[in-house]
Structure 1
Amino acid sequence: MGKQLDVTKDNVVKVFFKYTIPTMLGMWSISLASIVDGIFVGKFIDSNALAVINLVVPYVSLLLGLITMFGAGGCVLSGKLLGENKKFQASSIFSRVIQIMFGIGVIFSILVIIFPENAARLLGANQVILEYTVTYIKIYSYFLPIQLLGIGISFFARVNGKPGLTSFALLFSAIMNVFLDWIFVVIMNKGMAGASLATGISQSMTFFILLPSFFSKNSNLRFVMPKGIKKEIFYSMYNGLSELLNETSSGIVAFVFNHVLIQQSGVKGVAAFTIVNYFLYSGGLIAYSVVAAIHGPVSINYGAKNTKRMHDFLKVSILFNIVLGSLIAFILKGFDIHLVNFFLKSSGVEVSKMATIYISIIWYTFFINGINIVVSGYFTSIHKPISSFAFSALRSLILPVSLILIFNTIFKNEYIFYAVPLSELLTLIGIIIYTRFGKKNLG
């Protein structure tokens, strides 16, 4: 069995890849599962069903945002405490955060199960797709508490020195999602109910795979009875605000896009955007995997006051995301029509044409969004929540929503999609100015 790397002493590049590769594979598996889910829905149900998936994005984003806020904020605080050799305090944070996550899941699950039609209409479902939407979110909500715990516990598993197991759990869930989609949607022909059932069952597996690792004798984090940590929990929430914003803002932006497009192009426009959003989500998720991977090493080095190593992790992360983002951009641009048609039946020519036009506008985004995502996440790791929140708000909410509304007023066509790359560019300019004229801002 290989020697476990010491994140405060061993080679930075070696530690980076030790944490990033398995984390990225895990995140990539989530991304792939999401895409395959869309392919099954579009190919074996119809384009209206594909539009429903995008209408549900704000709901899922809100939930993931809350879990990520507690998970990211809590895990970097636990990492800092572990770096200071305060294991019980770190375990107390972990235990309380898991309790809160479970409570969030239960509350939302009950609300949606009791009022599914109200929730569907709130998300923007019209009469054409109301039944599909109600079916999907109601079944999805039965699995919600365990799904959210699986995502939440994965943050702490990495800090607990289990990046490989975390990636395996996510990969297993993704593979199961594809398999269950094939069983429920294709073989059993259960339509939207089958797609939702496949997602719910598969995503719940992450929790059950990761849970035993916290009962191991080698675990640094354990379930304990937390005492006197209210201040720390509020600080975790405060420090994780940017991650909350990153997740929920994608839902808000999707919500705005959905409402603009349904007026411009109807359900077909929303279906076309759903396909594009899969690529935006997947590319962003892979960039976020780097952030998730370095939260532990950076926060532990922050606790140990190893400033140079913190900066080195940031530099390697930025370079890695630039290379990865450029590769995604060129693949998307070069194979746009082929990628789009994976999601559609042969009758979906109009939706395919719309989606290809949208891609021709947004593909530039991937050259720079990874830089913005890494820097914002780095600020969370070094306990600079205001800086992290400010840049997250700019790139993922304030600029996109403002530009969508402005471009829709002026052009009222596909030019609204220029809001996506332009938001990233303006944010990058802001980050360069902020770090260039205030080097202490990087810790």
Structure 2
Amino acid sequence: MKLEGKSLKSDFMRFIVPSIVAQWVFALYTMVDGIFVAKGVSEVALTAVNIVMPYIMALYAISILFAVGTSTVVAILLGEKNGKRANEVFTQNITLLTIFSVLITIIVMLNLKSVALFLGATEVNMKYVLEYLRAIVPFSGLFILSYSFETLIKTDGYPKMATFIVTAGSVLNVILDYFMVMRWHMGIGGAALATGISHVVLIAMYLVHFCGKKGTIKFRRFRWDIPVIWREVKNGIPSGITELSTGLIIFLFNQAILKFLNEDALVSYTIISYVNSIAVMTMVGIAQGYQPLISYYFGQKRMDRCKKLLRYGIVAVIVASIAFTGGCLLGADGIVGLFLEKNMTELFAYSSGVLRIFALSFLIAGYNIVIGGYFTAVEEPVSATIISMGRSIVMLILSLGLLTMVFGGAGIWWSPLLAEALTLVFTLVFFFRYLKRINA
């Protein structure tokens, strides 16, 4: 792995900063679509983007499941000085994801309306949901491959290059959104097409790196190795679940809002989901940023460095969680103003209020994500999976069900805070047991 060697803290920062920026850029893809759609089409079309988002997040979850699992295995192999085997594992991963991409695209394109109904499309927004899906689904494979390439190029020791590539793709997406939605009036389909085209450029740029002379990880011939795939899946499931959680939360909240509130509240939640994506992606960026470093030193049996990197990760989470929560509490009106006009008085005030409530969950979420990421990096998949399943599925469903039963629609906005707090209890139990075991 290409390390500068100045200090461990320097390498930590060099890896997590580009990782966080890359996560922001991925989150901003759909957020930019939402802003242009809200301003250039309508608020109803904005809810359609939000309804389709769980599908996009599911694609990212598949990608990151294999990307993080592969990254962990590849980093350990590089730490063991086994570059040839690392290249075989990398190539097998990309081939497998390409096969998945083709199958997913075909299946969804043949069942567009069923997928739209499953995601929560209503009579009011069905037209927009179908239009967005029809334009975005053909690019499904590029979403999967681009995220995987982005993770693995960092494992190769080029985090700054990963940041440059995803940033270039995001800038292109903004430019295309402006022309396709605002100037050429191509509607919500134009926004989806802009995102798809930007991903074509991303893939091309990644291939230039992996097919060129730079870096350690290369494409090479391989034989299918099912045990290695299973090892990748076990290591990647926690990160895949974390990635999927954003889409799952959106899906569950959309259903609860339609049941307990109204379609106007969907607009409020669409705005919240964008903010939540950026906050959670920041925590994920810290976790994914330091995972290759931890796995590399874990492969060298240097546990002192692994533990020190974990301390750095926790400090980074404390800073990020306070910054995001404080920013939302103080700047909710400004955030909502990106999507809604202030003359929509009632909806504007409601959206700002529920954003402030939802943002309290950011104070806790990062600890669950970063400690879970550490467990993934040192191949403790059971603990990592339980943490990820807890915060994104089990505890969230329990919290959402309990609070809506007691408080009705108002309980929806408090459920993420309760879910993260309950999960943190399990996270700390696993964490202290792990420390006791390795220090024994």
Q: What is the TM-score with the length of structure 1 in the denominator?
A: 0.95
Cα pair 1:41 1:195 within 8 Å, conserved? yes
Work out which of the residue numbers 147, 150, 153 in structure 2 matches 1:157: 153
Work out which of the residue numbers 310, 331, 336 in structure 2 matches 1:335: 331
1:148 aligns with 2:106: no
Could you tell me how far 1:218 is from its partner in structure 2? 3.9
Match of 2:61 in 1: 65
1:240 aligns with 2:232: no
1:433 aligns with 2:429: yes
Cα pair 2:372 2:388 within 8 Å, conserved? yes
Q: Which amino acid aligns with 1:332?
A: C
Cα pair 1:151 1:206 within 8 Å, conserved? no
Match of 2:3 in 1: 5
Match of 2:386 in 1: 390
Distance 1:442 1:256, change over 3 A: farther
In structure 2, what is the Cα distance between the partners aligned to 1:155 and 1:78?
11
In structure 1, what is the Cα distance between the partners aligned to 2:345 and 2:98?
43
Sequence identity percentage: 25
Cα pair 2:371 2:431 within 8 Å, conserved? no
Work out which of the residue numbers 257, 277, 295 in structure 2 matches 1:261: 257
Match of 1:378 in 2: 374
In structure 1, what is the Cα distance between the partners aligned to 2:248 and 2:86?
33
Work out which of the residue numbers 166, 175, 195 in structure 1 matches 2:162: 166
Cα deviation code 1:121-171 (max 9, x no counterpart): 111111111110011011101112123211111111111111111111111
Could you tell me how far 1:307 is from its partner in structure 2? 0.2
In structure 1, what is the Cα distance between the partners aligned to 2:199 and 2:416?
29
Gaps of 5+ in 2: none
Cα pair 1:101 1:148 within 8 Å, conserved? yes
Could you tell me how far 1:4 is from its partner in structure 2? 5.3
1:356 aligns with 2:352: yes
In structure 2, what is the Cα distance between the partners aligned to 1:242 and 1:362?
23
Cα pair 1:150 1:205 within 8 Å, conserved? no
In structure 2, what is the Cα distance between the partners aligned to 1:441 and 1:323?
29
Cα pair 2:98 2:141 within 8 Å, conserved? yes
In structure 2, what is the Cα distance between the partners aligned to 1:348 and 1:206?
38
Q: Which amino acid aligns with 1:220?
A: T
Could you tell me how far 1:205 is from its partner in structure 2? 2.3
Could you tell me how far 1:368 is from its partner in structure 2? 2.1
Distance 1:50 1:305, change over 3 A: same
Cα pair 1:169 1:205 within 8 Å, conserved? no
In structure 2, what is the Cα distance between the partners aligned to 1:37 and 1:388?
33
Q: Which amino acid aligns with 2:250?
A: A
Q: Which amino acid aligns with 2:362?
A: F
In structure 2, what is the Cα distance between the partners aligned to 1:35 and 1:109?
23
Work out which of the residue numbers 81, 100, 106 in structure 2 matches 1:104: 100
In structure 2, what is the Cα distance between the partners aligned to 1:423 and 1:437?
22
Match of 1:408 in 2: 404
Cα pair 1:150 1:208 within 8 Å, conserved? no
Work out which of the residue numbers 52, 56, 64 in structure 2 matches 1:56: 52
Cα pair 1:151 1:207 within 8 Å, conserved? no
Could you tell me how far 1:99 is from its partner in structure 2? 0.9
Could you tell me how far 1:387 is from its partner in structure 2? 0.6
RMSD: 1.8
Cα pair 2:33 2:192 within 8 Å, conserved? no
